[in-house]
Amino acid sequence: MADFRDEYKRKLISTEEAAGLVKSGMWIDYGAICGFPSLIDEKLAERAPELREVKIRAEHSHTRLPGIDPNQEHFIHNSWFLGKVERDYHRLGCCSYIPFGLSEGPRMYREWLKDEVDITFIEVTPMDEEGNFNFGTAITRQKAACDVARTVVVEVNEHQPWVYGGYDEVVNISQVGYIVENYEYRIPEFPAAPITTEDEAIAEYLAEQIEDGATIQLGVGAIPSVVGKLLVKHSIKDLGIHSEMFNDSMMELIEAGVVTGRKKSLNPGKAVHCFAAGSEKLYKFMNRNPVLAGFPVDYTNDPYIIARNEKQIAINSALRVDLRGQVCSESVGLRQISGTGGQLEFTRGAYMSPGGKAFICLHSTREDRNGKLISNIVITLELGDMVTVPASDVSLIVTEYGMVNLKGKSTWQRAKLLISIAHPDFRDELEEAARKANIITRGTAGLHW
């Protein structure tokens, strides 16, 4: 350990010095989600006047950079998946989305971006006795970014939990160029979304579909969180977890004894994930917890690995679904809201799993800026909407009005099924529009099955 401590001291620099490594024109990569380097970001933002065209790649970050640079003279921000801060920057025209499937992250760096990472800044745990820093709540693609970066700078945060992993959950000090210590910022917390009556109704449908011994994936949003809470009440036993995200509701399921992992066909006894987002309590629960296994995202989100879990359940949220079954979960027209993430990968993997099920959930309506009610089940997606899950991959769709299975159904059957779970106020106009578009044809208009 003495050698590692000496090396640690040699590589330890101030945050200002770390920010000073950035030069105009460089490509800079930030750690994902809770691997976000808060203190370095703050100091880099202060250098804006002296920098030009520094290109940043981040994911669900809380960055200050675009906010002080609306004309992108100093920083050009790019995001793999937009969080709230980046969503606002995108609306203002100073953040661009990078389309990709989440499982591609490590390969993306090692093959396509291997010559385009000048510096990577990543938040990590304190070093262990073997000279390793753990990526904690955000294993995702961090090791791959370190492998290709010309310079690796770690921001050490004592609040980052040490998460036991499968592989690529640590970076050794030998691979690290510089070390910064962050005593000012805790890792970001993500409060649970407010729960609505629609969420509760959808969650009830879902809870009824989950059997003892199933393995679950819960996506982002209120609906998956409610499902987690309901599963405690439904007395379901021996669930497992194989998910991209680990959240508070999953922690609660483990604490309640609902999740044991005993029946898992892959990684039995382990709650497999690649990142976490939630409360400080969640992060403390994760620290050196032998129940958890953190893997890089090319493992957790590989559909063929997901499919090795028997009775894999995937629960994800959508913004809109059209009458042919195309799912948009990430944009409103040309305005990017989030990203593709792992929704398509888990939809495919759960469908391929023996006894598995893939659910896409959405509220039947939303209010526009003027308070007008609008249907989220639509005749066709809006111009600019990104298709997150193609119609050919969709099976189970759930709203607060019910659940339908689109697999094996022709477009007229799909339209009728989706109209049946749309808000009642919009069913007649959806059917009329479907007839005009020849989705529901003359011969099928009166058919039932």
Residue 424, number of CB atoms within 10 A of its CB: 8
Q: How far apart are CA 350 and CA 358, in angstroms?
A: 5
- Within a 10 A sphere around the Cβ of 32, how many other Cβ atoms? 29
Three-state SS annotation for 254-312: HHCCCECCCCCCCCCCCEEECEECCCHHHHHHHCCCCCEEECCHHHHCCHHHHCCCCCE
The token pair that represents 258 in the structure block: 């609902």
**CA distance between the termini of the chain:** 71
Residue with tokens 């194989």: 242
| Strand partners for 58 | 79
Report the distance separating Cα 395 and Cα 313, nearest Å. Answer: 12
Residue 85 neighbours by CB distance under 10 Å: 19
- For residue 404, which of 392, 378, 422, 427 has the smallest C-alpha distance? 422
DSSP 181-215: E--S-PPPP-PPPPP-HHHHHHHHHHHTTPPTT-E
Question: Is 169 noted as a catalytic residue in this protein?
Answer: no
Task: Report, in this order, helix, strand and coil percent for the chain, each rounded to 5.
Answer: 30, 20, 45
Residues 6+ apart with CB under 8 A from 10: none
The one catalytic residue among 104, 155, 198, 244 = 244
The Cα–Cα gap between 259 and 253 comes to 5
| Residue-wise DSSP of 99-120 | ---GGGHHHIIIIISTTS-SEE
Cα 272 from Cα 312, distance rounded (Å): 12
Q: Give whole-number Cα distances, 392 to 208, 340, 406, 414, 417, in Å.
A: 25, 17, 9, 12, 16
Strand 75-79: give its sheet, edge to edge: 95-97, 75-79, 54-58, 27-30, 119-124, 151-156, 178-181
Give catalytic residues, as residue numbers. Answer: 244
